[in-house]
Amino acid sequence: MMIKKRIFPSFFRFLFVALFMGISLCATEAEAAKVSFRGIMILASNESGPTDGQLKRYEGKLRRLFKFKQYRHFGQGGASIEIPGKASFSLGNGYRMQIDASPAQKDKIRAGVRWVKGKRNLINTVLVMQKGAPTILGGPSHDSANLIVILEAN
């Protein structure tokens, strides 16, 4: 009799803790499965002039990777994706970004990226992205400048 009284309360406590932990793990996985992608399109040229204020955060990295004199904001867009999943968003000026995302090791995302204008593919690549770290893609020429996209996943 004494054993039953001790076992049942302990069993119910264990069951409650296990159920609570299971619900917590499911909620964490659901939150981690949704990722927001943001693309910033830049017009880079050798014209003299300051870097666009919206790009100050990226200026050092842009200057290390590319040798242009001026970087101007040219458009941006974004989308949230349930991982694994696909999304497409406008960058402005007729350009679009299409992303096919899946989980990768640890805190990384494997992203199939297509940068398009109309029906024309500009870039088609696969990236392994670190959440919160910008990935910079050099693109095609546009008038007398070059296009660059900064892609971030958060």
Backbone angles phi, psi at 134, to 5 degrees: -70, 140
The 10 Å Cβ neighbour count of residue 99 is 23
Max distance between CA atoms of the chain, in angstroms, equals 89
Q: For residue 43, what pLDDT is reported?
A: 97
Q: For residue 7, what pLDDT is reported?
A: 52
Could you give the 3-state DSSP secondary structure of residue 52? coil
The pLDDT confidence band at residue 62, using thresholds 50, 70 and 90, is very high
Q: Specify the DSSP class assigned to residue 83.
A: S
The pLDDT confidence band at residue 99, using thresholds 50, 70 and 90, is very high
